[in-house]
Amino acid sequence: MASHRKSRSTGTRVAGIRTPALATAALTSVALLSQSANAAPSDDRPSLEEVEKKVDDLYRQAGSATEKYNAAKEKTSKQRKKVDTLLDDVAKRTQKLNDARTELGSFASAQYRTGASVPETATLLLADSPQDYFDQNQLMNRLTGRQKTAVDDYVTQQSETMKKRREATEGLDTLTDSQNDLKTAKSTVQKKLATARELLSELTAEEKARLAAIEKKKQEEAARKAAELAKQQAAEEAERKRQEEAAQQQGSGSSSGSSESSTPGSSNGTQAQKALAFAQAQIGKPYVWGATGPGSYDCSGLTQAAWKAAGVTLPRTTYDQVNAGTTVSVSQAQPGDLVFFYDDISHVGLYVGDGKMVHAPKPGAYVREESIFYDGESSIYSVVRPA
């Protein structure tokens, strides 16, 4: 006879004891949760490569924000000077207006003393619009020559004073906007750098050593690329000289023969040498965002100061410096040329030759000479030869 009783779950044995299936599932769940808890810190912790990329991105964003800060600072400085000039002009014109008003007031007093029936100049001083008053009352037809001159002067001074006051008010509004932009850019730089410092501070000694090894490998690759560029440039220069010599030999007996070198103008070359010498003399000085020397520099502050030493005025920011000359290919770069980086044109260095440059790299670093491929070949935006 078949049994209708349900079969009993066999469960599992733990330490020789049979356990129900439900208890088994519970034990398994606890074990998994315990494993997850133990693994959580390492799973949530970013890899060293992720930290490196994040820090590099933060420094790059800080560099971009620095150039925006430099632009806002320059704009604010110019606007402040403009407003100061306008306010000074308003003060001078207000004084002239007061003088004209005083003279008209003297005419009103004279009318009162002589018993004139209509103290017209006194009414003029109280009018909202002197010109409307003249048009409506035809005052000018009843004034003496001296009075007409005084009235003309008063109208002119009032009109110019009101105009300058409006310009000063608008200028102050623009100045306020520039100052707000300056504060925003400054805050952005500080936040990016603070985040980068926080990430780096959380690295262990071993991770910092590994990070240094990664950086060293990048520098070695950058040096290799620089050597390749130097070799290419040397070959191109040798070919250029060979062609020049061949051309001179062919035309040596002809009056049309060229005796001039095709090398770029000597004056530009001399200026480039001066700019480069200045930049190299700054090696070892700290990078400080927004700084233009002499004790510290940011990237565009260094290139601007270098070319200023050579007698050439460059704009303050990388965004403007990139348009301050002739663009050439990387292979045609010459000492003194400006090398720009990244799509947002947020970094610049001064080309030395042999694939190297002098630049102010980033916060925590110093002005130094290194390969223009320091952040990879794709990071180079353009090369510009200052006019």
Residues serving a catalytic function are 299, 347, 359
Name beta bridge partners: 385. 326
Distance of CA 346 to the CA centre of its chain: 7
- Measure the CA–CA gap between 94 and 106, rounded to whole angstroms: 18
Beta strand 325-328 with 338-341: parallel, antiparallel or unpaired? unpaired
Q: Are 283 and 369 in contact (CB under 8 A)?
A: yes
Beta strand 380-386 with 325-328: parallel, antiparallel or unpaired? antiparallel
- Measure the CA–CA gap between 110 and 112, rounded to whole angstroms: 5
Q: Is 297 helix (H, G, I), strand (E, B) or coil?
A: strand
Q: Is 102 helix (H, G, I), strand (E, B) or coil?
A: helix
- Measure the CA–CA gap between 175 and 182, rounded to whole angstroms: 10
Q: Are 368 and 376 in contact (CB under 8 A)?
A: no
- Measure the CA–CA gap between 347 and 370, rounded to whole angstroms: 14
